[in-house]
Structure 1
């Protein structure tokens, strides 16, 4: 089995790097300076316990990869970049006949819940992955994964859920490979419950990207409580279940703790990283925006999430620095949205 990691940034680089370290065949798909750096010098994966220099194969697009029936595609691009990536890969031929969209399993290791549905339009075999994996990609060729002793926690399932049971023939070997590669990996028919729990946690991403770490200002902690309360009210109105924070913490326990990594910046979320790298886009429309969408469908006001989604999009489009929005200005914007 070979893993083709589409989007080898923070999450994709950490998963692909760990799989390569444990001896699995891996292709890391990246663009521009990141791909060039990995081709020239390998992938540097820094963790609290070690600094690894890994040399898996590197590709810049589907035209660089000859797909085989034994390949597993792992989609780790930001969800706002999904359509372009899915369209590019779904049509690629697979040795022996057929296309990737028809024949190969696709694991969607992404924040939010929209990516799985986007994938199912183009791929027949879609498997959501709920990703609890703090990781950072700020420098070409380098990924920082600050959790130890396990690098992350991954829940795998089917999309849509199968009435006749999970596709364990596909997923069990993948979960076993991940377990041998320093991940907590679980198969669950309730993967959507985990993904909605992660969505609620990720509602803080835009808040921190705009105003800075929650721990730096009590007003931000209070703001997140209101942002999350909107999210929970929306999911309740929509009849969507999610896993409790207590259950998630108990499962993770002491096996996955953020620790200092020598020479690395403090851990920061994926939305903050997008602003820091000046990518021009941000995933807020599929995090806070998902809550706004469901709120509109089910008649639940969402002024906090609507404001965060709008402002995060503006910051990304204008290339503004992460953490540069005064908290007082955010509060004024929310008051205006609620009026």
Structure 2
């Protein structure tokens, strides 16, 4: 089994690297600041609905300290806004080092291909949270999540097969896919909901109608750009067959990546989620008022240091439905 270099030991990187470590893989984490100190001093606390483990981890503060070789697999798990800087640091690795982008959005792979020839995309659905240095919580039961792998720009190969097997050994539901970017674009459409959660602090169930509006804009843009994506019913069936959400200490999964970033007071990846739709729309002359509003609102809230829920659900509905001809369903109204 090759060594995995997990660059970013947050919610996703911590969950992937922690589970690989528990399965016997050779794992090195690259972390920063308080998280680096916590991991060095006390290891990683990795919790699930049925377990609470303290893992001794190999952790360094930079790629240079990791001594990355040609046989290593670098798992990029930083937010997209940090990918370019991370890749610049990774030039200490050899050019044919394997890079696996275990990230939201569809920009990371393009950035990685500028520097490395062996780039793989990951369709990631892991309900994990990183709200305290050195701590990672995974809120699903029998499986820690889904992580499908494919070569970019397309095609599955023996490396994708091997990574999928390693992830399966770590408990993940992992498949090597030749059309991984179509799956990642489908995940992008789902992630448009992240901005809604970050703005309102509401649940996915409360936001279903607004998520549909954001998703329709996204599909219109992807269709016009001739970019394929897996149908939503196929993705939902995949998720439903694997994931079993539960609680930790009686608390449910707190929210997606944008919600967590805003709650921690850090930068948001919304520019590469809702902002991706805005970008395609501007390139092709397609209006995207819903996603533009979410993009600009989240960015402003981050600059102001606002927390999730600053804009209530009623206010959010009024703002977004005012941009379209849609009306808020009576059954959703908070009265």
Alignment partner of 1:221 out of 197, 201, 208:
208
Structure-1 residue corresponding to 2:294: 308
- Paired positions, count: 324
Is it true that 1:109 corresponds to 2:95 in the alignment?
Answer: no
TM-score, normalization: structure 1? 0.91
User: 3-state SS of the aligned residue for 2:136?
Assistant: strand
Is it true that 1:157 corresponds to 2:167 in the alignment?
Answer: no
Q: What is the alpha-carbon distance in structure 2 between the residues aligned to residue 282 and residue 10 of structure 1?
A: 14
Q: How far off its partner does 1:329 sit?
A: 3.8
Q: How far off its partner does 1:60 sit?
A: 1.2
Q: 1:315 to 1:135 in 2, by over 3 A?
A: same
Q: 1:333 to 1:119 in 2, by over 3 A?
A: same
Structure-1 residue corresponding to 2:227: 240
Q: What is the alpha-carbon distance in structure 2 between the residues aligned to residue 329 and residue 256 of structure 1?
A: 32
Is it true that 1:319 corresponds to 2:305 in the alignment?
Answer: yes
Q: 1:253 to 1:215 in 2, by over 3 A?
A: closer
Check whether the contact 1:14–1:145 (CA below 8 A) recurs between aligned residues.
Answer: yes
Alignment partner of 1:272 out of 259, 269, 276:
259
Q: What is the alpha-carbon distance in structure 2 between the residues aligned to residue 216 and residue 203 of structure 1?
A: 14
Structure-2 residue corresponding to 1:198: 187
User: 3-state SS of the aligned residue for 1:307?
Assistant: helix
Pairwise CA RMSD of aligned residues? 1.8
Q: What is the alpha-carbon distance in structure 2 between the residues aligned to residue 180 and residue 152 of structure 1?
A: 13
Structure-1 residue corresponding to 2:66: 65
Structure 1, 300-309 or 315-324: larger mean CA deviation: 315-324
Q: How far off its partner does 1:331 sit?
A: 4.7
Check whether the contact 1:144–1:264 (CA below 8 A) recurs between aligned residues.
Answer: no
Structure 1 alignment gaps of length 5 or more = 93-98
TM-score, normalization: structure 2? 0.92
1:291-306 equivalence runs, <5 A = 291-306=277-292
Q: What is the alpha-carbon distance in structure 2 between the residues aligned to residue 149 and residue 116 of structure 1?
A: 30
Q: 1:184 to 1:103 in 2, by over 3 A?
A: same
